[in-house]
Amino acid sequence: PSLDLVFNLNEFEVIASKTLPKAVYAYYSSAADDEVSYRQNHHSFHGIFFKPKILVDVTDIDLSSKILGEIFQIPFYISATALCGLGNPSGGEIDIVKACGSTDVLVPQMISTFSSNSLDEITAAKVNEKQTQWFQLYVNGDRKITHDLIKKAEHLGLKALFVTVDAPQAGNREKDLRFKFSCANKKGPNIMKGSQTANGTSGALSKLIDTALTWKDIENFRTLTSLPIILKGVQRIDDIIKAAEIGCKGVVLSNHGGRQLDFSVPPIEVLAESVPVLKSRGLDKNFDILIDGGIRRGTDILKALCLGASGIGIASPFLYANSVYGQAGVEKAFDIIINELKLSMRLLGVTKISELTPDLLDLKGLYDR
Ligand code: FNR
């Protein structure tokens, strides 16, 4: 269908499910085991309701937001997805880079270690010198490979290092496992050397991730780079506190879209519980709480902002938009989400992101599963 007929982010997946090669859609869409966390991530947002304010002048809506110390015109970012080239063989990650720099607002983009295009290509494709790219790091068993990647990301001007900590091994994604991955007939990640075969694309990628990653490595990365380090995939208050204490600049509350441990808690619940604890300990200064997982609507974003998140990650909708429509699809997805945000803020009676506070929410249904 024409992009004019796409009205919300969910529709990109529906269209992709009908048009992408089966193996590609299986890798993109599969989550772990019975996919309970995958569904619950989104469903949890349905347990939160708004308490709108009335009679506020909502003519001008300002979406500007500070994420990791930088001001953006929007509160969301594109989270890392591996292998954008499977769904969009000609555009790969590059069409997303172009979309992020071409519209009125610049959207920050997190680049996966397992991107189809190389980091050189991705950084060279920027269309606006002010657009922000971050690097997502999967740590290799050979630390020299990882250290070189960190240096390269820093050298190429990526602005932050997101170390993924919820994936020592790929989760059990059965839809994906039904298809054999072979580098010979598919575009593998740019860092994969030689040809590989495995059950499932996740299986092939998993071989490039070290199961022995620990807190010591994170401290070591801090000595290697001056980039801010953010842990992606944090799911417990004590780990958030530890990340803050060892000098990380933030965490992404995430269960990897339910693709890792099934029955890991929905990130929005972790957010609701942890922000008050961090505030009471004074750990919320210069430390960002980001969140991703199942965020599909402007209202989802507003709920997370009310609960104290400073940046909102969205991954798969952009991946599907890019796969079916390339750059134009990603730009359309931005438009949709920005319009939903503005409309919902007007109806909620707020005009700025800083006015989004917990008292605007009714959380009674948050824990109804
Ligand atoms: C991901 N995600 C991911 N995360 C990461 O740290 N590195 C990666 O390479 C990938 N690759 C990847 C591929 C695909 C196909 C998907 C769907 C997801 C996880 C992603 O960044 C995010 O945490 C989750 O997808 C949750 O967000 P959404 O998709 O619910 O908006």
**What is the block-wise mean pLDDT of the chain (369 residues), using blocks of 10 residues?**
96 98 94 97 97 98 98 98 95 97 95 96 96 97 94 97 95 90 65 74 84 95 96 98 96 98 98 95 93 98 98 98 98 98 98 98 94
Give 252's strand partners.
Answer: 232, 290
pLDDT of residue 256: 98
Number of the ligand 1 atom closest to the C-alpha atom of 38? 30
Give 134's strand partners.
Answer: 110
pTM assigned to the model: 0.96
Residue 42 catalytic?
no
Number of the ligand 1 atom closest to the C-alpha atom of 232? 6
pLDDT of residue 188: 67
Closest CA to 233 of 168, 301, 303: 168
317 vs 294: CA distance, rounded Å: 10
Ligand 1: centre distance to CA 171 (Å): 12
Beta strands in 6-160 (DSSP E): 49-50, 65-67, 70-72, 76-78, 109-111, 133-137
Q: 57 is written with which tokens? A: 């002048």
Closest CA to 118 of 135, 132, 100, 140: 135
pLDDT of residue 84: 96
pLDDT of residue 162: 98
Closest CA to 114 of 99, 143, 93: 93
Q: Residues 43, 46, 147, 256: which is the catalytic one?
A: 256
3-state secondary structure of 214: coil
pLDDT of residue 187: 62
Give the residue ranges of DSSP H helices in 134-227. 143-155, 174-177, 201-206, 215-224
Q: 95 is written with which tokens? A: 């069409």
Q: 197 is written with which tokens? A: 């075969």
Q: 131 is written with which tokens? A: 């657009």
Q: Which residue lies with its CA nearest to atom 27 of ligand 1?
A: 293
Q: Which residue lies with its CA nearest to atom 1 of ligand 1?
A: 81
Q: Which amino acid is at 315?
A: A
Q: Which residue lies with its CA nearest to atom 16 of ligand 1?
A: 81
Ligand 1: centre distance to CA 112 (Å): 9
The binding-site residues of ligand 1, defined as CB within 6 angstroms of any ligand atom, are: 28, 79-82, 112, 114, 136, 164, 232, 254, 256-257, 292-295, 314-316, 319
Q: Which residue lies with its CA nearest to atom 23 of ligand 1?
A: 256
Residues 6+ apart with CB under 8 A from 40: 258, 266, 294, 369
Closest CA to 319 of 5, 76, 3, 27: 27
Ligand 1: centre distance to CA 21 (Å): 19
Closest CA to 234 of 291, 161, 171: 291
What's the maximum distance between 2 C-alpha atoms anywhere in the chain?
63
311 vs 182: CA distance, rounded Å: 36
Q: 92 is written with which tokens? A: 């790969």
> Which helix (H) or strand (E) is 182 found in, with range?
strand 180-182
Compute the radius of gyration of the chain from its Cα atoms: 19
- Would strands 311-314 and 288-292 be described as parallel, antiparallel, or unpaired? parallel
Give 180's strand partners.
Answer: 199
